[in-house]
C-alpha cells in the first residue's frame, strides 16, 4: 500500500512517516507541504532519521497524489478540503484526522467521498473509539434524566475547541438518547447562565502544557455519577490508527467511513 502524508514535515507528519515505514505491506509514497515551506525538497527518509529514500517533500499535490494509493491528512481544514478535491480527481483514497471543519468544508469532503474511499475520524485511537461506543451504550441505558458533560484537555498549541474527539463523544451520547446533538449541545459556560436544562450535553475545554489528549464523559444524577475516561500518553497511538485505516482502504468502495468501520465494531 503506497501511502503519502500531508503536512509531512510537521510533528504528526514525521510520526506518520515513521509508522508507515514500520508497517508490513506499506511503503512511503510521498510527502506534501504548503508552497513556500523550507522543507520542500527534503528527502523523506532523511527527515525521519533513515537512509535517503529518493522521495522528496513536494508542494505539488498532483505529483504526490499520482504516486499514492492513499493520503493521510492531519493538517488544517482548508488544506484538507483542497486535498480531498485532489484525491477525488486522482482516485486516491484519504484518511482524514483534521478537526475543526465547518459545515461547508465537511460538505466538500463528503462530495469527494462520492468518488473515493475516505476514512474520517476526530480520533484514530482504538481506545477512544471503544469509548465512543461505550458512551452511546451508557447514554441509552441511563436515559434523558442523567446530565451529560464532556470534558477534554489538550496541549497549548491546539487551535480548535471542543476537540474533535469531544464532539465524537457528545454526538455518541446524543445518538444513544435519540437526540439531535446540535439542538442540545452547550459550549463553555460563562456568566449568569441560568439553570442547566434537562437533556443538555455540555462541553468543557482546557488547554495547557504538552498534554496529548484527555477526555472524560460524566453522567450525573442527583445522587451518583458515572465517569468514563481515556488518556493518551503518546501521539503515536493516532499515527498507528491512521496507518491501520490507510491499509484498510485497499479495495474499499467510495464513501465516507470512520474508525468504527475500520475496526469492525459496527
Clarify whether 230 is annotated catalytic: no
Sign of dihedral through CA atoms 9, 15, 16, 19?
positive
Answer whether 111's CB lies under 8 Å from 124's CB. Answer: no
Which triple of cell numbers denotes residue 42?
527534503
Side by side, the strands of the sheet bearing 255-257 are 57-58, 27-32, 2-6, 70-73, 93-96, 117-120, 255-257
Alpha helix positions (H), the chain: 11-21, 44-47, 61-67, 77-90, 103-112, 126-142, 164-176, 181-184, 236-248, 259-262
Which triple of cell numbers denotes residue 147?
446530565
Pick the catalytic residue from 154, 171, 215, 230: 154
Clarify whether 154 is annotated catalytic: yes
Of 55, 62, 58, 10, give the one whose Cα is nearest residue 32.
58
Pick the catalytic residue from 86, 90, 115, 158: 158
Tell me which residues are annotated as active site: 154, 158
Amino acid at each position: 500500500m503506497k501511502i503519502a502524508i500531508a503536512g509531512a514535515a510537521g510533528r504528526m507528519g514525521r510520526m506518520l512517516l515513521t509508522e508507515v515505514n514500520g508497517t508490513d505491506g506499506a511503503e512511503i509514497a510521498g510527502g506534501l507541504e504548503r508552497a513556500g515551506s523550507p522543507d520542500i525538497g527534503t528527502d523523506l527518509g532523511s527527515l525521519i532519521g533513515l537512509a535517503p529514500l529518493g522521495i522528496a517533500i513536494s508542494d505539488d499535490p498532483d505529483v504526490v497524489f499520482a504516486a499514492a494509493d492513499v493520503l493521510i491528512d492531519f493538517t488544517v481544514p482548508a488544506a484538507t478540503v483542497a486535498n480531498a478535491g485532489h484525491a477525488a480527481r486522482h482516485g486516491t483514497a484519504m484518511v482524514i484526522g483534521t478537526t475543526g471543519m465547518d459545515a461547508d468544508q465537511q460538505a466538500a469532503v463528503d462530495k469527494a467521498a462520492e468518488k473515493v474511499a475516505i476514512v474520517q475520524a476526530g480520533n484514530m485511537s482504538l481506545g477512544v473509539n471503544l469509548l465512543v461506543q461505550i458512551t452511546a451504550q451508557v447514554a441509552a441505558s441511563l436515559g434523558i434524566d442523567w446530565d451529560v458533560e464532556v470534558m477534554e484537555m489538550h496541549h497549548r498549541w491546539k487551535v480548535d475547541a471542543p476537540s474533535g474527539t469531544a464532539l465524537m463523544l457528545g454526538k455518541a451520547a446524543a445518538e444513544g438518547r435519540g437526540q439531535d446533538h446540535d439542538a442540545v449541545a452547550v459550549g463553555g459556560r460563562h456568566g449568569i447562565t441560568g439553570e442547566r436544562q434537562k437533556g443538555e450535553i455540555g462541553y468543557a475545554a482546557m488547554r495547557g502544557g504538552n498534554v496529548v489528549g484527555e477526555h472524560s464523559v460524566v453522567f450525573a444524577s442527583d445522587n451518583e455519577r458515572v465517569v468514563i475516561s481515556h488518556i493518551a500518553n503518546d501521539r503515536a497511538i493516532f499515527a498507528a490508527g491512521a496507518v491501520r485505516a490507510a491499509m484498510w482502504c485497499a479495495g474499499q468502495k467510495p464513501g465516507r467511513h470512520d474508525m468504527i468501520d475500520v475496526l469492525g465494531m459496527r
